[in-house]
Amino acid sequence: MIIGKISRISGPVVNARGMEGIKIRDLVRVGELGLVGEVIEVKGDQISIQVYEETDGLRVGEPVKSDGKPFLAELGPGLLGMIYDGIQRPLEVIRDQTGAFIARGASGDPLHRGKRWHFVPTVKVGEPVAHGDVIGWVQETPAIRHKILVPEGVAGKIVKIKEGDYTVEEPVAELDTGQKIFMKQLWPIRRPRPIAQKITAGVPLITGQRIFDVFFPVTKGGSAIVPGPFGSGKTVTQQALAKWSDADIVVYIGCGERGNEMTEVLTEFPHLEDPRTGQPLMNRTVLIANTSNMPVAARETSIYTGITIAEYYRDMGYDVALMADSTSRWAEALREISGRLEEMPGEEGYPPYLASRIAEFYERAGRVICLGSDKRQGSVTVIGAVSPPGGDFSEPVTQNSLRIAGAFWGLDARLAYSRHFPAINWLTSYSLYLDALQDWYKREIGPDFIQMRQELLEILQKEDELKKIVQLVGRESLSEPDKLLLDIARTVRDDFLRQNAFHEVDAYCPLKKQYYMMQAILAFYKTCQGLLGKIPYEEILKLPGWEQLSKMRYVPNDQTESYFPGFIRELSAASMTKEVVA
């Protein structure tokens, strides 16, 4: 045990002296209360500590203790369904008004100590195992088998392994080296968990949100950022993804946002059902809450705690999606701590290492071949909300995130103001994954999926050009084909891209329905084009198809196959033209 004394206190940063042998990133206990902190700077005899709890009341001269180890996340069965703070203390009582989430200096065990899990071995006595090998599993929730992995630094032949009920601290296997394997493992959160190999991903994370799945998809293992000003829909978007995306596991980090936003998640999620398994959504979810009223240093850490848990499930061979709302608040925590350290500030007061920290975080996303002899694959998809002050995307956090993320979902204040939700700007947003995903969409959904996506996007781009002309010379001066394009573009925007996150049916749109909706719009467009010149444009505007298209998103999802093929036939040229011209 290394013991020193507090020499100075500056908000969340505390200095101490007399701690010989202490290293950067070591975990310390500060003061009489034993507040949790982490060493962030060692300068001669003096160290700087970022303290994860409120520091008021601390005094110079109080003791600081450390056993010379970094902050370690506890990994093992029982993570799913848990709600943690940034340093993985279980938050059982949420009292966002007082900010008293947890008594200071408290240390709840991240994993339940007394609970017994039924362990089923998958290897036998005599078999050699090494880091990353699966030796068995426990059924953590009805849908998730929690694989028990050989930890780092452990290798040998199994001499003892037996099916049975164990707590996370009882050994489930023993090796000829004398090493024991427990279900509980520890991992330093700032170090990425090792993998065999990163691979390129050709599978999308299906979100059930048309603007993402069709226009700007992200791969399983990819990364996306959602920047937007206050009130533009970052949190609603992140929560929709947490609810509906087809990841096996979801890690949701509420990072520095208002407490009430997190309360919504906390009260709503336990009642929600996973659309794929019918199980409670919390059975596949880990929540990490470090809201704005909680200590700033733990907010900085919450991101790493979250991604470590995500990597841990990836290592079992699962597809994990991580949402962080908001990475800007994380960056602000970084800035505050850097300021307290009196480091040389970079752009807008952020520390010069902001860019590398952001990059390191997003680089922990990826699709991988896991360590272990069975070559299983897993992925971590990272979706980070960014809240640039005043919605100005040229600021450092947005810019540095943009450089590294593969998809950019830009929220637009004007769209939000006109209540077009999700307020994703379709002209400025992009996905770099489209090439990698083309084959998947063509194979799994429809050969013309990508072609139709392209046509819709072109309609919207053309609309943008035409709108400029209309502003100058008025709509009446447009040709009929251009008028029709504007009207179809409105349908694309209002009846396809708009999606109400709070509507029973519309909140989640299956991919096949998205495909049919595109077909319906394009079929009707073609019908109308065929009628141009044959009947007055006003008559085209009176066709029932416009109204029908505006309702199709509310067709119950389980009626997709029974409704759409007939509907599309009705909208397409043959029938419609005959009726009208006759």
Helix residue ranges, H only, 322-433? 327-340, 354-362, 396-404, 413-417
The reply to whether 235 sits near Mg ion by the rule CB under 5 A is yes
The reply to whether 292 sits near Mg ion by the rule CB under 5 A is no
Q: Which stretch binds Mg ion (CB under 5 A): 53-61, 77-85, 233-241, 504-512?
A: 233-241
Whether residue 562 is preceded by a cis peptide bond, meaning omega within 30 degrees of 0, is no
Closest CA to 225 of 383, 361, 404, 364: 383
Q: How many residues does the chain have?
A: 582
Least separation, in Å, of the C-beta of 235 and Mg ion? 3
Least separation, in Å, of the C-beta of 332 and Mg ion? 14
Residue with tokens 């048309």: 210
Least separation, in Å, of the C-beta of 11 and ligand ADP? 26
Distance separating alpha carbons of residues 135 and 154, to the nearest angstrom: 12
Distance separating alpha carbons of residues 380 and 316, to the nearest angstrom: 12
For residues 496 to 525, the per-residue mask of contacts with ligand ADP, x marking binding by CB under 6 A and - elsewhere, is: ---xxxx-----------------------
231 binds, options Mg ion, ligand ADP, none, Cβ within 5 to 8 A by partner type: ligand ADP
- The number of residues that bind ligand ADP (CB under 6 A) is 14
CA distances from 29 to 33, 44, 185, 298 (A): 8, 20, 22, 14
88 binds, options Mg ion, ligand ADP, none, Cβ within 5 to 8 A by partner type: none
Query: Hey, which residues between 212 and 251 contact ligand ADP (CB under 6 A)?
Result: 228, 230-236
Closer to ligand ADP at the Cβ: 234 or 329?
234
Least separation, in Å, of the C-beta of 238 and ligand ADP? 8
Query: Hey, which residues between 287 and 326 contact ligand ADP (CB under 6 A)?
Result: none
Record the tokens describing residue 446, joined without a space: 């429809």
Render the burial of 151-167: b for 16+ CB within 10 Å, e for the rest. beebeeebeebeeeebb
Least separation, in Å, of the C-beta of 289 and ligand ADP? 15
Query: Hey, which residues between 102 and 141 contact ligand ADP (CB under 6 A)?
Result: none
Distance separating alpha carbons of residues 450 and 34, to the nearest angstrom: 58
CA distances from 227 to 335, 399, 457 (A): 19, 10, 21
Query: How would you classify the pairing of strands 407-408 and 223-227?
Result: parallel
The reply to whether 232 sits near Mg ion by the rule CB under 5 A is no
500 binds, options ligand ADP, Mg ion, none, Cβ within 5 to 8 A by partner type: ligand ADP
For residues 11 to 40, the per-residue mask of contacts with ligand ADP, x marking binding by CB under 6 A and - elsewhere, is: ------------------------------
Q: Give, for 28, the enclosing helix (H) or strand (E).
A: strand 27-30
Closer to Mg ion at the Cβ: 324 or 337?
324
Closer to Mg ion at the Cβ: 234 or 299?
234
Are 71 and 38 a contacting pair, CB within 8 Å? yes
Q: Which stretch binds Mg ion (CB under 5 A): 141-149, 226-234, 276-284, 429-437?
A: 226-234
- Sign for the CA dihedral angle at 95, 97, 101, 103 comes to negative
Q: Which residues bind ligand ADP (CB under 6 A)?
A: 228, 230-236, 421-422, 499-502
